[in-house]
A and B are shown apart, each in its own frame.
Chain A
Amino acid sequence: MTYFRRLAVNNWARKLTFFFILLAGWQGLVWIGWWPEFIFPSPLSVAQTLVRGFQNGSLIIGIVTSMERILIGFGISAVVGILLGLALGRIKLLDETVGSVVLGLQALPSICWLPLALIWFGLSETAILFVVVMGALLSVTLATEAGVKNTPPLYLRAARNLGARGWRLYWSVIFPAALPAIITGMKLGWSFAWRSLMAGELLYQGARIGLGNLLSMGRDLNDMSRVIAVMLVIIAIGLAVDRLIFSPIELRVRERWGLQG
């Protein structure tokens, strides 16, 4: 017990030390003064920009806007992706036709949809949402399809034996059996969606200001401390959602399903 506690403390101590050295190195490079401060800001000025951003509300507006976009976009891709994946996993004809298209599109970074989306939907929220949806949709679809196809035959035999048939078999056995794969797909899809959203916001300035828009404003104003501050917020949100939402759910489901040692 004490051994493990010491190990955990050491772990944290190591991490803290590493980040301290990282910050010190950064500050050191600033002091050497190869680049001017507006190109290579010090950690302190980034921190000040962060605080100012939260105080004057610009970062909060950015966070709210981006979160709203990703929640809607990711929500749509989760629902459509799961339904599409369930269908692809069960209907052979659909798998052979639509399935190959899905597989092909997976190779396309979703930001490549932006030019088309701008023409189709105009300079609007819809264009950004479309890019976000395309970012997550395919990985959720493919993971769901794989989960359905890999339903352990034993579950199906046991269920049929107990009188499960048709849609009942589908919803009571195949869907829950595929759930661990679906959650893993959603976790992956979330990170794709987050990247797509940032790329989309960087390239397209709309009426509303998201985090990606703030980033591109920072570039326009030659304000690199703002750019780095926004980058840190983007990293923090991406990590937080992964670590605080998806990973615990994934772990719990895998444990209950007997997939975790």
Chain B
Amino acid sequence: MKLEVRGVGKTYQTKAGALPALEPLDLDVQTGEFVCLLGPSGCGKSTLLNIVAGLDQPTRGEVRIDGQVVRRPGTDRVMIFQNAALFPWLNVIDNVEFGLRMAGKPKAERLETAQHFLRMVHLSDFESAFIHELSGGMRQRVALARALAIDPDVLLMDEPFGALDAQTRDLLHDELQTIWSDTRKTVLFVTHNVREAIVLGDRVVVLSARPGRIKKEFAINLPRPRQIESYAVVDLAREIMAVLRDTAMTGEQEMRQAALTHTLAAQIEEGMRGTFREVGDDVL
């Protein structure tokens, strides 16, 4: 499954005028490739991921999957959110089965698939636990199992480990690397953590501050599995850091950015309500 981003840009219309969030950019992700998008917060990397997921529309350009233009969410691309977004009214196994149930799969098949992926993320003993009983790391594992269960071609990961403590994050890096080598999914992984990007990615794409542009790309040819504290990773991190620091904003830019972000946040919230209505129109 080849992912092509062609001239995709996003501009928000705010009361303060047009606010470019993402400059038109091109990006190709090959089948089975693990690409990390790295950039400071507010650089539009999550926006890009949402556009690829079909949860957000670009104002220009298009995303193609095997030549097909993406217009709406599809089960060929599954997003994993920073705070897992599990459904608290379902227990662990029902969460993992959710996508399969939406696809109308029979009960026996759902259960078997869900159990398989729960084993993969080492949570077999927690099938009937509820979400509020799980730690942050366990929640991300369930989210990963829930995504893998519907067998998507592309995994879209939006800073999935951003809210976890360092130890849990290291553990999940190891597990994600193992799972990725076993399943060979195409992965687009958004992070602002340089070392995380190096440990996980075949390729690291550095974005500049808003409006996001591709600043530089790094091919990571280190042998796997990679350790976050290894010298090779640290050396490379230093190199990428230098590029990233270049993209940082001046104080004045930052002030302006903060003001704009404030307006933007209100509008995005508004937009989400819009999405919500849209879903409603779908229903009725």
Contact = CB atoms under 8 A, between A and B. Distances in A.
B146 interface: yes
Most B Cβ at <10 Å: residue of A162, A164, A168:
A162
A151 B273 CA distance: 10
B85 A155 contact: yes
A90 B79 contact: no
Interface stretch (B112-120, B190-198, B256-264, B274-282): B274-282
A167 interface: yes
Interface stretch (A74-82, A194-202, A225-233, A253-261): A253-261
Given A155-B87, A157-B85, A162 B284 contact: no
Interface in A152-211: 153-170, 172-173, 176-177, 179
B102 A90 contact: no
A153 B275 contact: yes
A155 B87 CA distance: 7
Interface in A208-236: none
A92 interface: yes
Contacts of B279: 156, 160, 169
Contacts of A173: 87
A91 B277 CA distance: 8
Given A151-B276, A256-B132, A163 B89 contact: no
Given A158-B79, A161-B78, A163-B75, A153 B85 contact: no
Given A158-B86, A163-B73, 11 more contacts: A90-B280, A90-B284, A91-B280, A92-B280, A162-B102, A162-B146, A163-B103, A164-B98, A169-B283, A179-B89, A256-B131
Interface of B: 53, 55, 73-75, 77-79, 81, 83, 85-90, 98-99, 101-103, 130-132, 146-147, 150, 272-273, 275-277, 279-280, 282-284
Question: What 10 pairs between A and B have smallest CB-CB spacing?
Answer: A162-B99, A158-B85, A153-B272, A176-B89, A163-B102, A163-B75, A90-B280, A257-B88, A164-B102, A160-B73
29 contacts: A92-B277, A154-B85, A155-B85, A156-B279, A157-B55, A157-B79, A159-B98, A160-B279, A161-B55, A161-B77, A162-B75, A162-B146, A163-B74, A163-B99, A163-B150, A164-B98, A166-B282, A166-B283, A167-B283, A169-B283, A172-B102, A176-B87, A177-B87, A177-B89, A179-B89, A256-B89, A257-B132, A258-B131, A258-B132
